[in-house]
Structure 1
């Protein structure tokens, strides 16, 4: 579903993303499943007898990807839910409670800056700044792209949920692990206990003053690149200190650049632009890092005679998975003869949005080599089937686990 030479690209709210949903819709209908679209234009699939259920367990993930990403991030979770439906239909079984599988649009932040767009829209928490975010390619707003796929934006602007929390008995999401823990433990799958929150600045600008690299002494320089390096160094020192105290934090600056059109090796640049992605499972740590970032920017600006313009931040609160649902999935692992493993998630997921909205939520991680968000994602199908079977076992028997 992608023309890329390396990996796959399914941009959020694009024709490729829509074509992916249509492909899944056709496959589900051909297998005798019921399909429909919710008010956020996400695909919903279910057994025919559960199509009109007013309350249901929601299983799924997102279908968009980062540019030149891997085969499994997001889409594996949708296919796991779809396979649960197909297995139940072929075996003539009913789930303990009605189940709907959701294939969501727009989870990745790569295209607009905001993340978890579909789930935030469903829960009524997609903010005005997020809706106004420009697309990295055409510059048009997220709102405009949402309207293009047929979403009625009036309730979204009013902060109205497009799916009521009371409808969702549980939200369960399968996802490839984005780190090396399951590889190191030689485990095919694990249950997720919590998801890091984050705050992200898509494009921090540090503005200085251009000059000749050989003619301007250090005392007279207003060098934005060195100011940025100073800031990142101080943040890195704070990161190490927080880890040494046994607390949780990760920090990334994934985009750094000066203007290649106007700058050269022999020119002090007048500005540099960079991103910041700061994550923790502890809300207090995130609050402290926001305060530190502001204070360090102000101090470095005075010392180096530059100006920092951080722009607005996209924020997501940390989320704990529901202990009862986590325990039920662990029991399902035991029934399948697998020793349960519980772990935290370093990456963010739609499950965080549902959990923070009050939906009992949980995740299943599947072993995956080479990380994620790259063409080298390497999930083994046997491991995927284990993860899917954990969810299926839970869906069929979960009342007895309570």
Structure 2
């Protein structure tokens, strides 16, 4: 499978390639020609940061709409009890920092034999031209961006993409067998959590768990989900996995922390195909478990790749952060303060259009705020009527570079 960062087919200007500006925004006009920061003596125009910030704003707003069903009151919330800073303020600051890192990557590109090809330059120029033609004068004015600044941002993002592999290669990052090896198991969990559950209900649930266990002992190879449903139609079995080698320092990527210690202790004492002798009782429920495979090759390969990608992304992020700390960076705060991200001034893309892929590992993290997502394969059931499963499935994406197409702007009313 290809690396995750290469599969991320488009972290780019797709968010603003066709921009619909909400009416009634009441924003002040920006001067995109003003210098918002300097990096090692190189001026960064506000227009470049404005365009990048609107990209992040649009992507985060779209994510909230897709996953939460609403994007109301995202940006105007205060980020902390002891500060008046809003999430919108944080997004502006993080956008400037991301652009500063891009300028540093451009500065260091020659050290890694990284450069833009003629094809890159042609695609970028075409994208910038289409962008300017597709968007209204009003939108361009709101973005405070020129065609040259659009080109600049696309050039920076393309260089960032090209720098990723050679920078990461310096880290000589590896994943050990102890980190990667995965054990798989099948389990049914019956929840006993909740303030309103009675002792009688707990007793019934335990009896049901025992019935499932007894039937599994009769035939350890049986379909545990079918047996569970035969006891109660709301029950089902889930397959989980955890890091085979026990560690005192289980990190959040191991998967093991998703399951109660009582469950893992029993599982680590079983052999392939064995069903635990007894119901495992925890503070939140009853478990019936079968260890399927101590060394699961497929799960291990998937985990190895996931850890490799995670380590590489972290290395790249840490390296660029270090470079930023070491650089001579001066922000012009009074200019940066003119750029606002609020709930009343939003950019939306009715039909996002792809442009050349530009992996930016920290972009997603820095698009503040971002909902938390689970990293484990499955999480134990919190309800007695269902089990929760979060499969780790990564989509393949084409490696080919696409020339962006722009879509005319639509105003959201």
Given the two structures, how large is their TM-score scaled by the length of structure 2?
0.25
| Richer in strand (by share) | 1
Question: Highest relative contact order (Cα 8 Å, sep 6+), 1 or 2?
Answer: 2
| Richer in helix (by share) | 2
Given the two structures, how large is their TM-score scaled by the length of structure 1?
0.25
